[in-house]
Structure 1
Amino acid sequence: MKMSSAVEQSLVVLVMLSLQKDDLPVKSYLLSDRLEVSESYLKKTMRKLVVSGIVEAIASKEGGFKLARPIAEITLLDVYQAIEGAGSFIHSTQLADRIFLSQESDNRVEDVQQALEVATDDVLSVFNEAEQDFKNKLQNYTIAKLLQHINVDEFGKIDWRQSAVN
């Protein structure tokens, strides 16, 4: 499994928006400057977060992006699925069938096919269980939990709209 960098960037954006002073919207160019990614790339990522109901896009002169719901209600699974999709990342191409069944004589094909089906089912079962464990773990971790390590009173809210990139 490979996860795109957009998942990490999304998490950073969500933390930034949750720390935004007065919950004011932050424009995409300010976020992209901070993340050091192109604005067009970030806009595609932000669109996915908007469509999934994690972030709200506000179209106005003072608009931008802000959280659409409380951080205690946004899980890592929400973010992962918004960016990577909700479908399974386990897919069989039936490569073993193509390789091993093409090598067998007609009288052994049924035996080999049955063995391949059992082995494939076993392997897919293990991968599917691992995927479910992965998603369950993400479902149980919220942005609020991520931020529990930051003392917001001490750290303070940040107005990303006023903060210049160094």
Structure 2
Amino acid sequence: MKMSNAVEQSLVVLVMLALQKDELPIKSYLLSNRLEVSESYLKKTMRKLVVAGIVQAIASKEGGFKLARSIADITLLDVYEAIEGDGSFIHSTQLADRIFLNQASNKPVEDVQQALEVAVDDVLTVFNDAEADFKKRLQNYTIAKLLQHINVDEFGKIDWRQAMVK
């Protein structure tokens, strides 16, 4: 399994939005500059977060992006599925069938096919269980938990709009 960079970038953006002074929206060009990614790439990522109801896009002169939900209500699974999709990442191409069924000339095809089905089912069960565990762990970790070690009162809210002006 490989996760796209957009998942990590999304988490950083969500932390930035959570720490934004007065919850003011942040423009995409400011976020893309800070993350050092193209604005068009970041807009595609942000669109996925908007569609998932994690981020709100505000269209106005002072608009930009801000959190659509409380950080206690945004899980890592929400972010992962917004970016990567909510489907399974386990997919079988039936490669074993194509390879081994044609090579089993000394055994009845039904015996080989049955053995392959059992083996493939076992492997897919392990992968599916691992995927379920992975998603359960992501579901149990929120942005609030990610920020729990930052004392916002001591650290202070940041006006990213001012901090990023060069």
SS of residue paired to 1:66: strand
**Shift in Å at residue 118 of structure 1?**
0.1
> Aligned pair 1:6/2:13, yes or no?
no
How big is the shift at 1:108?
Answer: 1.9
Q: Does 1:128 align with 2:128?
A: yes
Write the distance in 2 (CA, Å) between the matches of 1:4 and 1:23. Answer: 28
> Quick one: percent identity of the two aligned structures?
85
Query: Where do 5+ consecutive residues of structure 1 fail to align?
Result: none
C-alpha distance in 1 between matches for 2:24 and 2:165: 18
Q: Is the 1:34–1:165 contact (alpha carbons within 8 Å) kept by the matching residues of 2?
A: no
TM-fit CA distance, 1:107: 5.0
Structure 2 Cα separation of the partners of residues 107 and 55 of structure 1: 58
Correspondence for 1:84: 84
Q: Which whole-Å CA distance do the structure 2 matches of 1:107 and 1:158 have between them?
A: 70
Give the AA of the match of 2:149: H
Q: Report the alpha carbon displacement of residue 104 of structure 1 after superposing the two structures with TM.
A: 1.8
- Give me the whole-angstrom Cα distance separating, in 2, the residues matched to 1:151 and 1:118: 53
* Match of residue 96 from structure 1: 96
Amino acid at match of 1:14: L
Give the secondary structure class of the aligned counterpart of 1:161: helix
- CA distance in 1 between partners of 2:43 and 2:4 (Å): 15
Instruction: Specify the code of the residue in structure 1 equivalent to 2:118.
Output: V
1:16 to 2:21 alignment:
no
Give the corresponding residue for 1:108: 108
Offset of residue 105 of structure 1? 2.1
Alpha-carbon distance in structure 1 between the residues aligned to 2:87 and 2:132: 11
Which 4+ runs in 1 deviate beyond 3 A? none
For 2:25, the equivalent position in structure 1 comes to: 25
The letter for the 1-side match of 2:121 is D
Partner of 1:148: 148
Counterpart Cα distance in 1 of 2:97 and 2:70: 48
* TM-score between both structures, scaled by the size of structure 2: 0.98
Q: TM-score, normalised by structure 1?
A: 0.98
Q: Is the 8 A contact 1:72 1:142 kept in 2?
A: yes
Query: Could you list the per-position Cα deviations for residues 94-138 of structure 1 after superposition, in whole angstroms to 9, with x for gaps in the alignment?
Result: 000000001122852111100000000000000000000000000
More off after superposition, 101-110 vs 151-160: 101-110
Instruction: Tell me how many residue pairs correspond in the alignment.
Output: 166
Please show how residues 33-72 of structure 1 align to structure 2 within 5 Å: 33-72=33-72
Taking only aligned residues, the RMSD between alpha carbons, in angstroms, comes to 1.1
**3-state DSSP class of the match of 2:162?**
coil
1:56–1:67: 8 Å Cα contact kept in structure 2?
Answer: yes
Deviation string for 1:19-66 (max 9, x for gaps)? 000000000000000000000000000000000000000000000000
Residue 165 of structure 1 deviates from its aligned partner by 6.3
